């Protein structure tokens, strides 16, 4: 799923108090010439679409190649993720949701925008938007269609609502045609949206280095 869908969603123009403070600070620093807006955008993009999701992608790839790790991940996501060195604030209690042919998982945070930062980096704008937060619960199949994802009719969709205490990570199904791939190559096809549930891994992204 490419980034173009971001513009298909209505964005909330009302900032939370902390967002307003960050915006004010950003404007002040840019105005005084301390920060180059283009450089700031590049840094944010890096954390949102490159560095952050790579951690989660490593977890997914390890689960695909190591059944014992997958079992530990299913039993205690927090402990299993910690084995790979990930955790901390925003990932204190991680629950892994495994997709199956019968069930597809979708993550949302209806109250705010709780998100597994240590695994996925910065949350995308659409994840925090009221339209996504409302529609994901009411019409999950329609929400996936907004992202260009159509699932088989027989595959049910389970929606998980994140909280300040619990963050969820979708473990997508391993795509066909990836037999014999290295763990690194497998990680390269795991994109951010597939770990939220609004997308699927893309075999064509293999070894591109930016599968987000």
Provide the H-helix boundaries in 101-167: 117-120, 125-128, 130-138, 140-146
Phi, psi (degrees; rounded to nearest 5) at 153:
-55, -35
Q: H or E element: which one contains 105? A: strand 103-108
Q: Examine the residue annotation and report whether 113 is marked as an active-site residue of this protein.
A: yes
Q: Check 109, 188, 194, 212 and give the catalytic one.
A: 109
Q: Please indicate whether residue 114 is annotated as part of the active site.
A: yes
Catalytic annotation, pick one of 2, 27, 112, 182: 112
Q: Catalytic pick from 97, 114, 188, 194?
A: 114
Give the whole-angstrom CA distance, residue 66 versus residue 12.
41
Closest CA to 150 of 96, 99, 200: 200
Report which of 92, 64, 48 is spatially closest to residue 190, judged by C-alpha positions: 64
Rounded Cα distance, 89 and 87, in Å: 7
CB 125 within 8 A of CB 11: yes
97 is catalytic: no
List 113, 162, 188, 194, catalytic entry: 113
Residues classed as catalytic = 109, 112-114
């Amino acid at each position: 799923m490419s980034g173009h869908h971001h513009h298909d969603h209505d964005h909330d123009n009302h900032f939370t108090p902390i967002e307003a403070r960050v915006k004010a600070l950003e404007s002040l620093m840019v105005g005084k010439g301390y920060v180059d807006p283009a450089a700031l955008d590049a840094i944010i993009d890096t954390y949102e679409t490159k560095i952050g999701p790579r951690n989660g992608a490593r977890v997914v790839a390890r689960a695909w190649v190591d059944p014992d790790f997958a079992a530990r991940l299913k039993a205690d996501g927090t402990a299993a993720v910690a084995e790979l060195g990930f955790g901390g604030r925003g990932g204190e209690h991680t629950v892994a949701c495994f997709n199956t042919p019968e069930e597809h998982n979708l993550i949302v945070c209806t109250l705010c925008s709780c998100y597994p930062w240590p695994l996925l980096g910065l949350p995308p704008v659409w994840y925090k938007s009221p339209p996504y937060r409302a529609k994901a619960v009411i019409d999950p199949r329609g929400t996936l269609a907004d992202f260009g994802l159509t699932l088989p009719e027989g595959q049910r969709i389970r929606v998980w609502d994140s909280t300040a205490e619990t963050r969820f990570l979708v473990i997508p199904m391993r795509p066909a045609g990836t037999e014999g791939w290295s763990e690194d190559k497998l990680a390269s096809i795991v994109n951010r949206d597939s770990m939220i549930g609004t997308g699927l891994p893309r075999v064509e992204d293999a070894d591109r280095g930016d599968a987000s």
